[in-house]
Structure 1
Amino acid sequence: MTGQSPRRTFSREQRRELLLEYKQSEREVLRELLVEAYTPLVETLAQKFARGQILREDLIQVGMIGLLSSISRYDPAFERTFESFAIPTIVGEIKRFIRDKTWSVHVPRRVKELSPKIKHVVDELTMKLQRSPHISDIAQHMGVSEEEILETLEMGRSYHSLSMDSELEADSEGNTITLFDLVGVQDEGFSRVDRDLTIDHAMSSLDMREREIIRMTFYENLSQKQTGDLLGMSQMHVSRLQRRALNKLREALQMEHHETIP
């Protein structure tokens, strides 16, 4: 009977020794051990922000980026533990992902940043003024224009989308239709969606590090050097892993194509 090997545990002293040794030699095998040693920390932090298993897995993935960055930047000479150094970076990556990826439609970053602040200010002013604050009250308190407050409140409604199965009242007799019933023509973007889904499926053939390199170099348009700096590896190593990832994707896409031919 086979099964997944139990996860190794590392004591605080073992983790510290790994950090010191890695900083002296920068051997890849030591960095992989550090990632393994601190994965439980990332999982714990991700769980605090998760709203379901799928989102939890996503948050762990982006949290690992913060962990890799922390391992790369940490200096044992700092008068602080690695955990206290890494946690703000990991949480920052998680919060940035939540801010950028969990809105139903694309809105400007300034709106995403301003929206939660407005809610906090509204609560604060309601208690202070003993009434619901006016737009002018909020704008003055935050030091922004009333137009920015109104724009943010309007766009804030896009945080959650409405399901196409949502029912609408069609007539006075209580008959209903769904939003999908109102869709009259096929969207020309369907073929693009189908292509994107195929690419997403092919991406599953890559390991975590290869996926991050593809995301950074092709989706975020970062150079190989910038990607290497963020992931704590040389540009040459990034180039080698990128080439390997592209070969895997090519093979996966070719296999997908053959499987769809009747």
Structure 2
Amino acid sequence: MSYQSTLTSPTRAQRTRRRTDSYDNIEPLFTELAELDTDDPHRVALRKELISRCLPLAEHIARKFAGRGENFDDLLQIARVGMVAAVDRFDPDHGASFLAFAVPTIMGEVRRHFRDHTWSVRVPRRLKEIQQTIVPAMDRLSQRLGRTPTAAEIAEELGVDLVEVTQALIARNGYRTSSIDAYTGGDSEYAPTSLLDTLGAEQSEFRTVEDCLVVKPLIAALPERDRQVLMMRFFESQSQIQIAESLGVSQMQVSRILARLLSSLREQASRD
């Protein structure tokens, strides 16, 4: 090996010292990386070294999001994906430090994972974003106030509308759902029971209530005479002959009116 190549090729000791340096001194390595061709073996090795050196940063950020219902290994994997993206996208010519670029990049990757993949029910994106900022805001306010903050105080701290904060707090209930087959405890004899065993039987009256709620606005929109015929037949329990006598028409006409109305209401209710 020539003297010149010794100067230009980092020694093992130099590489080792690089791994232990702070991230504040990592930018020259990115400058060196940018000057190498994509198919240069030295570039591949240097990129691998940068990724290896930044692994502790990804783990540190993953731990900041631990305890929110996600497996830590999954969070670590997501954080490492964000870290690799930061290594590949960082441009030292822009003048910013690598840390200033990498930290929001990695945290953004983890936050997107929480926003898009960890909700058990569909929640609007805006509420997901607000919900992610609520816990840190509550921690700050609890330390400052010495008590649990109100929704209005959280809204003021975040600079968002109170209604949105309230909706986000309610939406937190949809982050995780419980299986109805999961055991919830025991009865008086300490026998394990599932949530399904504690649920009541289906009430037939619920369907009747639902049907009434659907049909009520449709009936209200009917002409006065049609609405009167329905009221007399189904709410006052009058026969078709009695209705015909009250309206001064034939029983056949009442029968046709009822058939037409029921068919129309059934079609509209099914469509709605």
Which structure exhibits the higher relative contact order, with contacts defined as CA atoms closer than 8 Å and separated by 6 or more residues? Answer: 1
Q: Normalising by structure 1, what TM-score?
A: 0.48
TM-score (norm 2): 0.46
